[in-house]
Amino acid sequence: MYLSECEFIAFDFETTGTQSRIDRIIEIGAVRFSLDGNITDQFSTLVNPKRTISPRAIEVHGITDQEVSKADEISVVLPKFLSFLDTDSILIAHNASFDRSFLAEACKMTGNAPPDHDVICSLPLCRRAWTDFQNYRLETIGQSLGLIEQEAHRGLDDSLLLAKVFNEAVSSLALKTNQELFQITKPRRVAKLENRLDMAPLGFELFETAITSKADMAIQYGDYSRAFRTVTPETIIDTGNQTYLMAICHRDGITKQFRFDRIHEFHLIKSTND
């Protein structure tokens, strides 16, 4: 199918923290758009999580407990959002595993069936389109392309920016069909989500910061390696026996699994815009 014939929905969640099993969605933003840049509909609302927002999360999105205190709870908001998604659109999120995990958990908690849509992550697409950016946070990409001047990091603002970034990437790569698109960024289903964000081991809170802010990190991995590799953390998985970091490895260009007990050194990679 030609991408020019497709409809897309870019969406973004702001949350109380990074752990989808215990944290909650506090804002939903989404826009329906086409490759010609036309925004045909949009969705935006705060959500009362019925719990406090972590200080680290507030530093990222700036949403306070007071702001969400009078908003509807997720049991009221989610059916409206799922109704907004009720088309043949392709869903897009930046660092999609994060948003998919929260959507899956919200559906489970409220008893709603998860949307049966293809969900693609824009990160691999952006890395293919622009190979020389300092990092691949959505706001950094937007500033590098001259699409925004300042970071907003709110649900609707990020969704509107993502729609523009997606169209720019598709144009840059001269993609014509969804088959070409899916070769770069594999579609996933919320209904088939298996890996959920879980608790990070003591001392690894910095990875939660990277996941929340969608920032890159440098890690020294393996018993015999002294070299650092750059990764974009996506989620943390606790299997009961081991805890793993799922992250996009910049060296290999794919999402890989890293055992936390084999990560010896690590630090955030600061953007020049930070």
Same domain, 48 and 164: yes
Residue with tokens 């169209």: 167
- Higher pLDDT residue, 253 or 203? 253
Is 197 among the domain residues? no
Quick one: average pLDDT of 221-246?
78
In the structure, what pLDDT confidence band is assigned to residue 12 with cuts at 50, 70 and 90?
very high
- Tens of pLDDT, residues 22-44: 889 999 999 999 999 899 999 99
Residue with tokens 């849509």: 117
Q: What is the dihedral of CA 97, 103, 104, 109, to 10 degrees?
A: 150
Is 199 among the domain residues? no
Check which CATH number belongs to the domain holding 124 and give it: 3.30.420.10
Work out how many domains the chain is built from and give that number: 2
Question: In angstroms, rounded to a whole number, what is the distance separating the alpha carbons of residues 112 and 86?
Answer: 13
Is 115 among the domain residues? yes
Same domain, 56 and 170: yes
Q: Residue 52: how many CB atoms within 10 A of its CB? A: 12
Q: What is the pLDDT of residue 209?
A: 79
- Tens of pLDDT, residues 63-100: 999 999 999 999 999 999 999 998 889 999 998 888 98
Same domain, 22 and 137: yes
Same domain, 254 and 187: no
Is 273 among the domain residues? no
Question: In angstroms, rounded to a whole number, what is the distance separating the alpha carbons of residues 199 and 79?
Answer: 28
Q: At what angle do helices 155-173 and 122-129 cross, to 10 degrees?
A: 50
Token pair for residue 97? 């595993």
Same domain, 256 and 175: no
Question: In angstroms, rounded to a whole number, what is the distance separating the alpha carbons of residues 22 and 17?
Answer: 8
Same domain, 257 and 158: no
Same domain, 65 and 188: yes
Domain end (from 127, 158, 192):
192
Quick one: average pLDDT of 11-17?
94
Q: What is the pLDDT of residue 197?
A: 41
